[in-house]
């Protein structure tokens, strides 16, 4: 039988109306919850909150400090390699001394030229001894091996003294 001419709602229409009302109520509830969230926590999605959280983290966990340390890593390795002949007191060999001294000048100056760390205290502690290494390398190139050895030894002492405070600072202790 054809239902086109029947009066009154079809049996499915009531079901559709209920679904439509349910959808409208759900949308209204969702909008209400979002509006309430904005009123209760208006700054929840602001970028400064992320910056504040990062600033509260220890320097070793802050992305800019980590990036600075990573960029510096290769230079630190070269500096350590350049210091080995001084630690082993091999600069007395006059034939090899100029190359040893030049390598230390280049390594120390590369670290000196590198930009400052994003955290002032990290920068200060990480640069401990580097100026003495450069001074020692310059003295070495000038032929003053005794002053060179003394200055490098003083730089190593400065660096050694700064290492534990640097580690503690990076870890937030």
pLDDT in tens, 75-114: 999 999 999 999 999 988 878 899 999 999 999 999 999 9
Q: What is the pLDDT at residue 54?
A: 54
Distances from the Cα of 67 to the Cα of 54, 61, 70, 132, 158, angstroms: 14, 10, 5, 26, 24
Q: What is the pLDDT at residue 83?
A: 97
Q: The pTM is what?
A: 0.67
Q: What is the pLDDT at residue 78?
A: 97
Cα dihedral sign, 50-52-56-58: positive
Contacts 24+ apart (CB under 8 A), 155-161: 155/129, 155/130, 155/131, 156/83, 156/87, 156/129, 157/129, 158/128, 158/129, 158/132, 159/128, 159/129, 159/130, 161/128
Q: What is the pLDDT at residue 146?
A: 94
Low-confidence ranges of the chain (pLDDT < 50): 39
């Amino acid at each position: 039988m054809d239902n086109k001419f029947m009066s009154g709602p079809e049996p499915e229409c009531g079901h559709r109306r209920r679904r439509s009302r349910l959808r409208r109520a759900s949308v209204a509830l969702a909008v209400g919850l979002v509006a309430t969230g904005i009123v209760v926590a208006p700054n929840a999605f602001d970028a400064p909150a992320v910056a504040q959280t990062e600033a509260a983290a220890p320097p070793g966990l802050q992305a800019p400090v980590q990036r600075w340390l990573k960029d510096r890593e290769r230079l630190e390795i070269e500096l350590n390699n350049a210091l080995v002949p001084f630690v082993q007191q091999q600069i007395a060999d006059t034939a090899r001394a100029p190359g040893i001294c030049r390598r230390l000048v280049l390594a120390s100056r590369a670290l000196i030229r590198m930009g400052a760390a994003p955290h002032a205290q990290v920068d200060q502690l990480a640069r401990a001894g580097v100026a003495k290494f450069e001074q020692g390398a310059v003295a070495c190139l000038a032929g003053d091996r005794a002053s060179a050895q003394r200055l490098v030894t003083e730089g190593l002492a400065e660096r050694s003294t700064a290492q534990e405070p640097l580690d503690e600072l990076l870890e937030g202790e």
